[in-house]
A = this chain, B = another copy of it.
Amino acid sequence: MRVENPRYTERFGSVRINDVQSVLELDSGRAKEVPPEENIAALKVEEDVIKDYEEKMAIVIPTKDEKLKLFEGVISGVPHECLLIVVSNSQRKRVNRFQMEEDTLNQFCHFTRRQALIIHQKDPILAQALGEAGYDDLLDENGQVRNGKAEGMIAGMLMAMVAKKDYVGFIDADNYFPGAVWEYVKCYAAGLSMSESPYAMVRILWRYKPKLSLGMYFKKRGRVSEITNKCMNSLISVKTGFETEIIKTGNAGEHAMCLRLAKMLPYASGYAVEPQELVSIFEEFGGVLPMAHGKAAKHGVDVFQIETRNPHLHEEKGTQHLQEMLLPGLGTIYHSPLCEEETKQVILDELLQQYVIVPDEEPPKPRIYPPLKRVNLQKFSEIMEGYMGSYSAPGEK
């Protein structure tokens, strides 16, 4: 893979936010000695380096009643070396959709000779392990893991830690193009390999997100992304005194990070999870609030934003869905201790204009889960490992 070198980096405390880097070539061929001057503009990331990262990476696919054909396509696009971890909140009553997902994954893993994990979000062992490991924040009044994508992602990250992986990447199960999924993972690996710090995050920017309404219109950004990015940039600008447009992936569902970094971040519930990750990084490492992680702050945190070659084509969920996504995302920014009055006003104006709130209403405060370092991982692993066979694909028949 060949990617643009980071041409511009903004700093916010010990966070290094790199400007967008485009993928130039999906497949840059065999390994070769490259004279250093050739890497000035474009960086060739060798296939072997990418595979080194993939081997240590878990790809978490949170899913809920997604079309089985799409799910099947998505898993077929994830490079072989990655450990697939499916966290499903699909229905199990009447039509057992979770069972279908398990069967699909089993069949795929059988023929491709690979290993994967699949777990239901409401799995009682998972809930028990979380409780005993001191992380019952994720559980509802019935003692089950709460609903929500964020909650599935958190369960997935913990499974990745049990499997002793170093990196975790997320991919949505509603993608139409296995080839795009493949590219996301390559971008994750390429980005992580560029990091100078063991604390890094890679966020994916789509070149286009085609709209199907009038034939095919290749839209650059969704409305929600535009507004979220604007507000997040305001958060930074007001603090630094220099206006910035550096953040272009505030809502990126497709992203990856070092588990070492993942352990340190508080997470927001539901759709607020992706913007909150950035907000958490700014809070923890921005140097404005007291910093809890001395060692990590010394290394700094690298944030990469990589623009794919493939457009992003996924199931359309309609405007309702978009509004559902806007509010929680802006809520994370609004309620951050970093957020000044100026940025708050920008957020309220945007929400009013989109008819998401009424005058004098505030966005609700997101539910925030504590960082995963709070989990007693040894305890959690002990319990989960006893049942690993039942979560493994191809399953024991």
Contact = CB atoms under 8 A, between A and B. Distances in A.
Interface string A1-42: 010000000000000000000011111111000100010011
A183 B29 CA distance: 14
A316 interface: yes
Given A38-B113, A42-B112, A29 B80 contact: yes
Interface residues of A, number: 47
A124 interface: no
Interface stretch (A224-232, A305-313, A324-332, A381-389): A305-313
A26 B179 contact: yes
A335 interface: no
Contacts of A44: 113
Interface stretch (A209-217, A265-273, A286-294): A209-217
Task: Please indicate which of the listed interface residues A30, A112, A178 has the most CB atoms of chain B within 10 Å of its own CB.
Answer: A178
A310 B311 CA distance: 13
B51 A30 contact: yes
A54 B26 CA distance: 14
State the copy count for this chain.
Answer: 2
Interface in A102-119: 108, 111-114
Contacts of A34: 113
Interface string A40-53: 01101001000100
A99 B54 CA distance: 41
Given A42-B112, A179-B182, A183-B179, A309 B77 contact: yes
Contact of A310 (B29, B114, B177): B177
B212 A216 contact: yes
A147 interface: no
A198 interface: no
Contacts of A42: 111-112
Contacts of A114: 25, 29
A69 interface: yes
Nearest to A26: B182
Nearest to A214: B212
Contact of A81 (B29, B41, B176, B182): B29
Contacts of A51: 29-30
A73 interface: yes
A41 B112 CA distance: 10
A82 to B, nearest CB: 9
Given A179-B182, A309-B179, A313-B313, A26 B69 contact: no
A-B complex: 8 closest residue pairs judged by Cβ atoms: A179-B179, A29-B80, A27-B79, A178-B309, A25-B112, A179-B310, A29-B81, A28-B80
6 contacts: A24-B111, A26-B179, A44-B113, A176-B210, A179-B182, A179-B309
